[in-house]
Chains A and B, each alone.
Chain A
């Protein structure tokens, strides 16, 4: 059964390239609680601080909190991008992440090449990737533009393509960051439909969002983060009421 289990999960970012010295001065002047210096005198941001939670199959979890609360970092950690600095994380199930839809895209390649490339990124073989190109190409509605370099696309067309590519999967664990579709009305309606289908088929959804309408519509549970810590965890209405 797909599930996620985090025990005292911590992530800390060392700030290597920001001039530790000037930052140190600032640290002494005003104590910012999440910036600290570690044992070897590096400036470190405690992005996630000892999070413990369990998400079972069937749960729809919303991550809510202010900007910089650690929502996206938690999503990336669940996706396997960051390895926990402290604690333990267990994610069972095929992970699909919709964190940054345009990651790994090459603007000089055509739309079709980008879809095939994304297929390869996901570990599909050439044939499967080309089948994926057909399907994503059809969904994006780009038509003949599919064989033109992405550089020439309008912003809306780029969003349509990245959306079509990103949503062409069926993961057990779906990790989603809030992102805004900028397609035309017709595409928005289709996108909405597709996203809902994707969400329904996934066993677990973890959605980071500021959009409370989406949170209420899709999620059953909410985890509120503040300063890299969990401050509330429970049914959506209950957690949102406390904000």
Chain B
């Protein structure tokens, strides 16, 4: 008979929950720690999710790469022939922007369902809720990884060489991921409680696409460009996009991105601390 790893430990684990002394912060931290320590579980679940999504398909997740590539080729032709634009400058920008935007938009959309789809598991197995958030995050990371080679291809074709400055995209991506985690935790809980939040988030995301410089360049705003720093989507996108395109963002944008991350993580954690115990009743 196989034993669970805890059997080797001398004192049996004790679970004490007292509604008079809820110990909310400690339990939330335990949840996060255990969730991260068991990272293999969300990785396995994310892999299964992706496999199930492309079950029976010959190309499988490569369709992601392919459909993004087709979009870019079509857009490239469209802009070059219809608008007589100079693609050298614009297309690399568009490719990086759209790929980042797709990651962002899909993550936000799936974040809303991250806890409700795990309803069966949540109501049967006591598992850290962090596992469900990590599952969503990792699934999207794998999907994003399928599109990243396209950036390289476009850079080679158009001879974009960001130089060593591109390494700055790594801390940028770290901020992006941290915000993603905070968003998944927060939206997962909020959408489990209020089922109307999902569609609202979808609408707001669509609006954000147009008011953020995703398909249009920030320079188009001329002198009003300085106000863009107030758009959190722009800040978080720019700390990855700027270094990749060889236009490292200014200190103000970095500061804004860090500030957004701190606020997002703080808000999400506070919400998690307060309502973690209620999630099983919500889903």
Give chain A's interface residues, CB within 8 Å of chain B. 2, 10, 13-14, 16-17, 76, 79-95, 97, 99-100, 103-104, 106, 108-109, 113, 116-117, 120-126, 128, 131-132, 135, 168-172
Q: List 27 A-B contacts (CB under 8 A).
A: A79-B125, A79-B126, A80-B15, A81-B122, A81-B123, A83-B278, A84-B18, A85-B19, A91-B14, A92-B12, A93-B14, A94-B7, A94-B12, A103-B121, A106-B52, A108-B52, A113-B48, A117-B45, A120-B41, A121-B41, A121-B125, A121-B127, A124-B4, A131-B2, A170-B3, A171-B4, A172-B12
B5 to chain A: which residues have CB within 8 Å? 123-125, 128
B51 part of interface (Cβ distance < 8 Å): yes
Contact partner of A80 (CB less than 8 A), chosen from B3, B40, B126, is: B126
B193: CB under 8 A from chain A?
yes
Q: Which residues of A contact B83 (CB under 8 A)?
A: none
A170-B123 in contact (CB<8A): no
Residues of A within 8 A of B251 (CB): none
- In the complex, what residues of B have CB within 8 A of residue A79's CB? 125-126
Bound Cα distance from A171 to B7, whole angstroms: 9
Residue B120 is within 8 A (CB to CB) of chain A in the complex: yes
Which listed residue, A83, A106, A131, touches B277 by the CB 8 Å rule?
Answer: A83
Q: Shortest beta-carbon distance, A229 to chain B, in Å?
A: 18
CB distance from B24 to the nearest CB of A (A): 10
Known contacts A83-B17, A104-B124; A123 and B4 CB within 8 A of each other:
yes
| B198 CB to nearest chain A CB (Å) | 13
| Chain B residue with Cβ nearest A92 | B14
Q: Would you give the shortest CB distance from B131 to chain A, in whole angstroms? A: 9
Residues of B within 8 A of A122 (CB): 4
- Establish whether residues A82 and B280, one from each chain, have CB atoms under 8 Å apart when the complex forms: yes
Given contacts A83-B280, A85-B19, A169-B4, contact A99 B13 (CB under 8 A): no
Total interface residues on B, CB under 8 Å, equals 41
Q: Which 6 A-B pairs have the closest CB atoms?
A: A103-B124, A80-B126, A83-B277, A88-B18, A92-B14, A93-B12
B271 at interface by CB-CB < 8 Å: no
Q: Is B38's CB within 8 Å of the partner chain A? A: yes
Q: How far is the CB of A135 from chain B (nearest CB, A)?
A: 6
- Within 246-283 of B, Cβ neighbours of A (below 8 Å) are at 277-278, 280-282
Looking at B14, B40, B125, B280, which has the most chain A CB atoms within 10 Å of its CB?
A: B125
Residues of chain B with a CB closer than 8 A to A2's CB? 12
Asked whether B59 is an interface residue with its Cβ less than 8 Å from the other chain, the reply is no
Flag if B40 contacts A126 (CB, 8 Å): yes
Given A99-B124, A170-B4, 14 further pairs, Cβ under 8 A? A79-B125, A81-B124, A83-B277, A83-B278, A84-B18, A91-B14, A94-B13, A104-B120, A104-B124, A125-B40, A128-B2, A169-B4, A170-B3, A171-B4
Is there an interface contact between A170 and B7, defined as CB atoms closer than 8 Å?
yes
How many angstroms from the CA of A131 to the CA of B7 in the assembled complex? Answer: 16
Q: How far is the CA of A85 from the CA of B17 in the complex (A)?
A: 10
Known: A17-B195, A120-B44, A121-B41. A86 touches B6 (CB 8 A): no
Contact B126 A81 (CB under 8 A): yes
* Contact in complex: B125, A104 (CB < 8 Å): yes
B110-161 contacts to A (CB < 8 Å): 120-127
Contact of A88 among B3, B16, B44 (CB under 8 A): B16
Q: Are A90 and B16 in contact (CB under 8 A)?
A: yes
Q: Are B281 and A82 in contact (CB under 8 A)?
A: yes
Q: Which A residues are in CB contact (< 8 Å) with B41?
A: 120-121
- Which chain B residue has the least Cβ–Cβ distance from A78? B15
The reply to whether A87 and B19 form a contact with Cβ atoms under 8 Å apart is: yes
Q: Is the CB of B120 within 8 A of A117?
A: no
Instruction: Kindly state the separation between the CA atoms of A13 and B283 in the bound complex, as whole angstroms.
Output: 11
B82 at the interface (CB under 8 A from A): no
With both chains docked as a complex, state the minimum distance between the C-beta of B39 and any C-beta of chain A, in angstroms.
10
Decide if B4 touches A88 in the complex (CB within 8 Å): no
B50 to chain A, nearest CB (A): 11
Q: Is A89 a contact partner of B281 (Cβ separation < 8 A)?
A: no
Nearest CB in chain A: distance from B280 CB, A = 5
Question: Chain B residues with Cβ under 8 A from A100's Cβ?
Answer: 124
Give the docked Cα–Cα distance between A125 and B5 (Å).
Answer: 9
CB nearest neighbor in A for B41: A120
Complex Cα–Cα for A128 and B6 (A) = 13
User: Nearest chain-B residue to A76 (Cβ)?
Assistant: B123
Write the nearest CB–CB distance from B123 to chain A, whole angstroms. 6
The one of A81, A99, A106, A168 in contact with B1, judged by C-beta atoms closer than 8 angstroms, is: A168
What distance in Å separates the Cβ of A22 from its nearest Cβ neighbour in chain B? 17
A116–B47 Cα distance when bound, in Å, is 13
**Contact indicator A81/B125 (Cβ below 8 Å):** yes
The interface residues of chain B lying within 8 Å CB-to-CB of A131 are 2
B4 touching A94, Cβ below 8 Å: yes
A-chain residues with CB within 8 Å of residue B13 when the two chains form the complex: 92-94
Tell me, in angstroms, the Cα distance from A109 to B22 when the chains sit together.
Answer: 39
